[in-house]
Amino acid sequence: MIHRTRLVFSGSGGQGVITAAIILAEAAVIHGGMNATQSQSYGAAARGGATRSDVILSDSEIYFPEVTQPNILVCLTQEAYTTFSPIIRPGGLLLTDSKFVTTVKNVDAKQIELPIFETVMEKIGKPIVFNICVLGALIGISDMLDPAWVMEVIKTRVPEDFIDMNNRALDLGLVMGSQYKI
Amino acid sequence: MKPAVLTGKHFINGDIACAEGAIAAGCLFFGGYPITPATEVAEHMSERLPHVGGTYIQMEDEIAAMTSILGGAWTGKKTMTATSGPGFSLMMETVGLAVVTETPCVVVNVQRGGPSTGLPTQGAQADMMQAKWGSHGDYEIIALAPSSPQEMFDLTITAFNLSEKYRTPVFIMSDEIVGHMSEKVVIPEPEAIKTFSRVAPDQPTENFLPFKPGPNGVAPMPAIGEGYKVHVTGLTHDEKGYPVMSVDTQAEMMERLMGKIRNNLDDIIMTESYLLEDAEVVVVSYGVSSRTSYTAVDMARKQGIKAGLLRLITVWPFPDQIIKDLALRVKGFVTVEINMGQISREVERCAGYRVPSYLAGHPGGAVVPPEEVVQILKEAF
């Protein structure tokens, strides 16, 4: 199914942008048998600084490690949207959170705005799983891999008491995203 | 105790893969002073070493980190430290001490933009000449350049093996991009990993000459506490290890130190070729920039340019002869690296002005885009 998918996750430090990218790529490699390269750029500040993480998923070997024209772009802050929306591949998928980003019309992409943060706060009440809900939404929209693989990775990375909360966040995202399936 | 070799398929970043490679190679001591973007090496070693019978010490600075791994090595252990540019500068005096005392150890430099504190969170390859010439005096050094997390694992093992075999410090010249990039890393079964440990002396402790070379030019190395009387000094010394301030002793010592590297180039130098057989122009690269270069060569071939790639896995000692041979049959070279001209000068030296040699460089903070390499290939040849 996947030949080569180029994703850029962007937002600000502390939102879990890099963690989400790593979890997605690890699920693809360890459970999906694909190749994946995850790289990132981030500022000196751990929190509040602009953050970007690139993921390339492929059947074949990946040489150049960075994404110049993502076919999937996720922006979780207005700054990230302003900076990165011009680089999306024409006709690509651009996912934003409606609380943090106001979109503009002149972007050549399929733009999907979802109230991910507000839904997480309303149904779960913990912002810590926002990034996992974003991942769920992305998978719901794109069907790029089996969400069960993502849960397998999360199980190895979070304390046992937090697994259920992450599972609920992933499911919430999947439901939201699947309404916009492409 | 936990296994030293975590056999299986992992999705980890280059820094962690490097730490796992070290443990798989038998490293049992790490003198650490964390610095972005090498921190994860120290962090992971601090978590893993106590579980495999090893020791991690957080030192007060990089000078102490470097000296601690020399001390550790003389107790018979395989030792390592990891740093980035600013720490690498502080370690340089002791690198010379490691060379002259023939102390095996591995130093990882996850390069970031410089000079000085530069760009802590962004990659560069601008310490390549410092790796060769950073400590004072004349010496040969071994430096390897991994281009992926898998190679961070594999080449760290190779670095330990070369370090033990030739009793010399070995550098892993990585960079922020490879260090922080996550990819699939396959760790083999322990039996499938080739490791080499320093040769121990087998003669009586009486009248032992600790710096008398064996047949391959390298002296067997005792550990402190085994009963051998060993004097270890940075001063010019004879086979007994005692300072002798004479031109003859200096000449003898220098010939041995240089010779053990220069006489074993075939064993130490590792390169990889891609589409080089019929190439008319050669892209030379190493580390993360070689990944750009594979893509650039493919793009150039599609546009009818007969390009090939020579990837340096070993950067020091430099593969002079390979470049010299290529210079006899190609139109020229383009060196791709994240600096403003370092290894490109070595290529130019070896090409001997027989054919032109150009740089596809970058001031630091990002990889060289493959399009730029293709543009230079088009304009230059």
Q: Which of A30, A61, A63 is the best mutation test for B, with the most CBs of B within 10 A?
A: A63
Indicate which CATH number applies to the domain containing A137: 3.40.920.10
CATH class of the domain defined by B8-192: alpha beta
Model confidence at B116, pLDDT cuts 50, 70, 90, reads: very high
Q: Could you give the number of structural domains in chain A?
A: 1
For chain A, the residues whose C-beta falls within 8 A of a C-beta of chain B are 22, 25-26, 29-30, 35-44, 62-66, 68
What is residue A165's predicted lDDT score, i.e. its pLDDT? 97
The yes/no answer to whether this complex scores an ipTM above 0.95 is: no
Q: Which residues of A touch B275 (CB under 8 A)?
A: none
Mean pLDDT of chain A: 93
- What the block records as the tokens of B230 is 């060993």
Mean pLDDT of chain B: 97
Model confidence at A13, pLDDT cuts 50, 70, 90, reads: confident
Domain range summary for chain B, segments of one domain joined by +: 8-192, 271-380
Please say whether the beta carbons of A116 and A97 come within 8 A: yes
- Element of type H or E holding A6: strand A4-12
Q: Which residues of B touch A42 (CB under 8 A)?
A: 121
Model confidence at A3, pLDDT cuts 50, 70, 90, reads: confident
Model confidence at B66, pLDDT cuts 50, 70, 90, reads: very high
Q: Nearest CA to CA, how far is B182 from chain A (Å)?
A: 5
Please say whether the beta carbons of B47 and B19 come within 8 A: no
> Which of B338, B368, B364 has the alpha carbon at shortest distance from B116?
B364
User: Which of A36, A42, A43 is closest, CB to CB, to B183?
Assistant: A36
Fold of B271-380: Rossmann fold (3.40.50)
**CA nearest B147 in A: which residue?**
A63
Give tens-digit pLDDT for A124-171.
999 999 999 999 999 999 999 999 999 999 999 999 999 999 999 999
Mean pLDDT of A7-26: 94
Q: Which residues of B touch A51 (CB under 8 A)?
A: none
Q: Which residues of B touch A62 (CB under 8 A)?
A: 183
Please say whether the beta carbons of B6 and B173 come within 8 A: no
**Strand order across the A35-42 sheet:** A109-114, A92-97, A72-75, A4-12, A50-58, A35-42, B182-187, B8-13
**Terminal CA-CA length for chain B:** 59
Give residue A70's domain range. 4-178
Q: Nearest CA to CA, how far is A24 from chain B (Å)?
A: 11
Say yes or no: do domains B8-192 and B271-380 share a fold.
yes
